[in-house]
C-alpha cells in the first residue's frame, strides 16, 4: 500500500509541474515586455512545439525575431505560417509591415491587399486599408493612397489614423483645402492624438507659416516627447526661421531616436550648408541617398549633391 501511495504521489507531482502551451506563451509575453527577446524566443518555441494551431503564436514568433533584428528569420516564419494558415489576414498584414520597414513597398502592398481580402471584421479592414495607403504614399502613389483612405473613411468617418493620413495626403492629390478639415476633426475627437498635431504643423510648413508650425510640433512633443518626426519637422521650421542651433539640436535628437529616417539627414544637411559646413552636409546627403531618399521623396538630395558635393 505504501508503494502504491508513493507512485501516485509521483504521478500527481509530474502533472503539477507540466507546463502547457499557454503557460509558455504567457511567460514569453512577460519576457518580451521586459525586452528579454532571446529568452522570450525560447519560451515561444516551446509554445509552438506543444501547440502549432494558433495564428497569433506564429505572429508573435516573427515579431520576436524582428525585435532581435533577425529579419530573414522573421520573414521565413511568416512564410511557414502562411503555408499553414493561407487566409490569415493578421500574418499578411504583419509581413507587409516588415517589408515596409525594409523598404519593400511593392511586395508590402501585395500583402496588404491579401490582408484586406481576408479581413474578418470592419475594424481589421479599416486598419489594413490605412496601412496599404501608407505603403502607396511611400512610393509616391498618392492617388492610390487617397483612394484607400477614402474607402476606409467610408467605413468609419471617426477613425483617427484614417483622418490623420487623409490630412497628410490631400495636398498631394489636389485637395489641399480639405487637409485642415480632417486634421482638426482628429483633434476635436481626441486632443491627445499627437500625429494630428504633427500633420497640422506640416500643413503650416507647406503654407510657409513656420511659427504656427512650430507651435503645433511643440504640442505634439508635449504629448509624445520621444516622437522623432516631431523633432525633425520642428527642426525644418526652425531652420526656415533662421534658428540654426535650435534646428540642429532638434534634428540630432530625431536621428538618435530614428536613425533610419532619410528625410532627417537631408534636413541636417541643409542646416550644415547654412553653417557653411559642406563636408558634413555631403556626409549626411550620402546617408540620405543610401537610405533610399530618392525612391521615397524625389530628387532634391541628388540635386544638392550635384551642387555642393561634386569635386
pLDDT of amino acid 224 = 96
pLDDT of amino acid 19 = 82
41-87 pLDDT, tens per residue? Answer: 999 999 989 998 999 999 999 999 999 999 999 999 999 999 999 99
Cα–Cα nearest to 235, from 219, 221, 249: 249
Alpha-carbon Rg of the chain, whole angstroms? 24
For the domain bounded by 191-259, which CATH number is listed?
Answer: 1.25.40.10
Q: Is the pLDDT of residue 278 over 60?
A: yes
Helical spans, DSSP H, in the chain: 2-16, 21-33, 37-50, 55-67, 71-84, 89-101, 105-118, 122-138, 142-155, 160-169, 179-189, 194-206, 210-223, 228-240, 244-257, 262-274, 278-290, 293-297, 300-308
pLDDT more than 70, % of the chain: 94
121-164 pLDDT, tens per residue? Answer: 999 999 999 999 999 998 889 999 999 999 999 999 999 999 98
Cα–Cα nearest to 238, from 226, 227, 250, 228: 250
Dist. CA 27–CA 57, nearest whole Å: 13
pLDDT of amino acid 121 = 96
pLDDT classification of 171: cutoffs 50, 70, 90: confident
CA angle 23, 95, 124 (to 5 degrees): 80
Residues of the chain with CATH 1.25.40.10: 191-259
Dist. CA 74–CA 68, nearest whole Å: 9
Region 222-231: mean pLDDT is 96
Mean pLDDT check: name the lowest of 12-26, 36-50, 148-162, 208-222: 12-26
Average pLDDT, the chain: 91
pLDDT classification of 98: cutoffs 50, 70, 90: very high
Amino acid at each position: 500500500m505504501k508503494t502504491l501511495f508513493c507512485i501516485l504521489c509521483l504521478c500527481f507531482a509530474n502533472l503539477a509541474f507540466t507546463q502547457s502551451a499557454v503557460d509558455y506563451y504567457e511567460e514569453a509575453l512577460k519576457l518580451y515586455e521586459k525586452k528579454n527577446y532571446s529568452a522570450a524566443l525560447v519560451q515561444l518555441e516551446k509554445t509552438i512545439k506543444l501547440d502549432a494551431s494558433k495564428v497569433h503564436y506564429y505572429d508573435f514568433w516573427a515579431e520576436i525575431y524582428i525585435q532581435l533584428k533577425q529579419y530573414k528569420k522573421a520573414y521565413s516564419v511568416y512564410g511557414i505560417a502562411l503555408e499553414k494558415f493561407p487566409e490569415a489576414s493578421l500574418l499578411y498584414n504583419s509581413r507587409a509591415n516588415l517589408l515596409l520597414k525594409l523598404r519593400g513597398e511593392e511586395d508590402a502592398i501585395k500583402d496588404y491587399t491579401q490582408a484586406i481580402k481576408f479581413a474578418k471584421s470592419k475594424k481589421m479592414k479599416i486598419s489594413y486599408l490605412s496601412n496599404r495607403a501608407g505603403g502607396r504614399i511611400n512610393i509616391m502613389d498618392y492617388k492610390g493612397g487617397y483612394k484607400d483612405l477614402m474607402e476606409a473613411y467610408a467605413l468609419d468617418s471617426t477613425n483617427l489614423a484614417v483622418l490623420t493620413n487623409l490630412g497628410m495626403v490631400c495636398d498631394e492629390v489636389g485637395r489641399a483645402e480639405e487637409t485642415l478639415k480632417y486634421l482638426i476633426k482628429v483633434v476635436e475627437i481626441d486632443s491627445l492624438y499627437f500625429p494630428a498635431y504633427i500633420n497640422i504643423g506640416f500643413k503650416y510648413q507647406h503654407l510657409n507659416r513656420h511659427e504656427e508650425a512650430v507651435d503645433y510640433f511643440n504640442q505634439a512633443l508635449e504629448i509624445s516627447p520621444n516622437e522623432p518626426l516631431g523633432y525633425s519637422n520642428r527642426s525644418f521650421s526652425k531652420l526656415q526661421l533662421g534658428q540654426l542651433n535650435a534646428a540642429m539640436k532638434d534634428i540630432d535628437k530625431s536621428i538618435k531616436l530614428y536613425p533610419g529616417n532619410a528625410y532627417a539627414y537631408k534636413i541636417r544637411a541643409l542646416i550644415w550648408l547654412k553653417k557653411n559646413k559642406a563636408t558634413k552636409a555631403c556626409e549626411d546627403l550620402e546617408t540620405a541617398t543610401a537610405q533610399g531618399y530618392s525612391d521615397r521623396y524625389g530628387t532634391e538630395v541628388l540635386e544638392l549633391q550635384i551642387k555642393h558635393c561634386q569635386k
